[in-house]
Amino acid sequence: MRKTGWIVFLCLVVAVAAACSETSEDLDGYVPAGDTGWLDGYVPADSGADGTTPPAEYKYVKIEDLSSVSGAQDGADIDAVELQKTAGSSWAAAAESCTLPDGTACANPDQAVGASDAFCSDPTKCFSNYELPTDDPATLPPYVALGGFDGTTSGTLIVSMSEKIENGDTLFVYEVGNCDVSEACTVASTTKASPESVKVSVGTSATGPWVEVLAASDTTKHPDIEIPISGL
């Protein structure tokens, strides 16, 4: 046999030996336990255990002030954010960020965390404290003012919820408006709080992406803005 023939023959022997070293399980696509399940070992970063993309979890709420006023203690006054499910309800767990239209931080964003506390036993009456030395939580109003809309930028509050927001849930945003304001529930009212419209979106992180669930609130229905959730 010529030399070149021997070379071809040896190459065939090597190829056959390599193929035979694989088990029948390897040949039929078997992947050992603990492997990724992908033939080349690659699993996309956003894939679940079965290789599918897990559903997005919406746990963040963004509230944007649409009112035409502008000032540090002006605009929409957010008292609380509630998520109502069939089994019960929960409140905003943390204020992730809050900025006024000029880019500065809101005075007291944590006032939007937890259960509603800006209203008296009569929901048409609300509580405020007009003395704002800013550093003493005891003298801050029980809500956060978003500062209005300056024609370009809205005051914006972002909170995180303790539970994920799902289709069929109802989101309530409590904006201090349409109520008689006094410095304490036991004190006679001195003025009426004007309702300020807001835009509301939900997101999968504190930076989005965002899904709008309310383009503009109906101020006649403040203070409790009711938002049925669907289409997520």
Is 0.85 surpassed by the pTM of this model? no
Q: For residue 62, tell me if it sits in a domain.
A: yes
Q: What is the DSSP string of 145-181?
A: E--BB-SS-B-EEEEEEEEEE-TT-EEEEEE--SEEE
pLDDT given at position 201: 98
Range scoring the smallest mean pLDDT among 95-99, 105-109, 134-138, 183-187: 134-138
* Higher pLDDT pick, 105 / 4: 105
89 in a structural domain:
yes
Give the domain range for residue 146: 58-228
**Residue 162 Cα to chain centre, angstroms:** 10
Instruction: Please report the pLDDT score of residue 51 as a whole number.
Output: 63
Q: What is the pLDDT of residues 119-148, one digit of tens each?
A: 988 878 987 765 444 445 556 788 999 999
Burial (0-12, 13-18, 19+ Cβ within 10 Å), 75 = buried
* Residue 51 counted as domain residue: no
Domain presence at residue 117: yes
Calculate what percentage of the chain has a pLDDT beyond 70: 72
- 26-72 residue pLDDT tens: 445 544 555 445 455 555 555 555 666 677 899 999 999 999 887 77
In a domain, 20, yes or no: no
- Local structure of 9: helix, strand or coil: helix
pLDDT-above-90 percentage for the chain: 56
Rounded to an integer, the average pLDDT of 144-163 is: 95
Distance CA 99, CA 221 (A): 25
Q: Is 57 helix (H, G, I), strand (E, B) or coil?
A: coil
In a domain, 97, yes or no: yes
The Cα 82–Cα 90 span in angstroms is 6
Which pLDDT value is given to residue 42? Answer: 52
The answer to whether position 32 is within a domain reads no
pLDDT of residue 229: 98
**Mean pLDDT throughout 3-19?**
42
Q: What mean pLDDT is predicted for residues 156-184?
A: 95
pLDDT at position 23 is 42
- As a whole number, the mean pLDDT across the chain is 81
Instruction: Report the domain count for the chain.
Output: 1
pLDDT band at 190 (very low <50, low <70, confident <90, very high): confident
Residue 42 near residue 36, CB atoms below 8 Å:
yes
In a domain, 99, yes or no: yes
| pLDDT computed for residue 199 by the predictor | 98
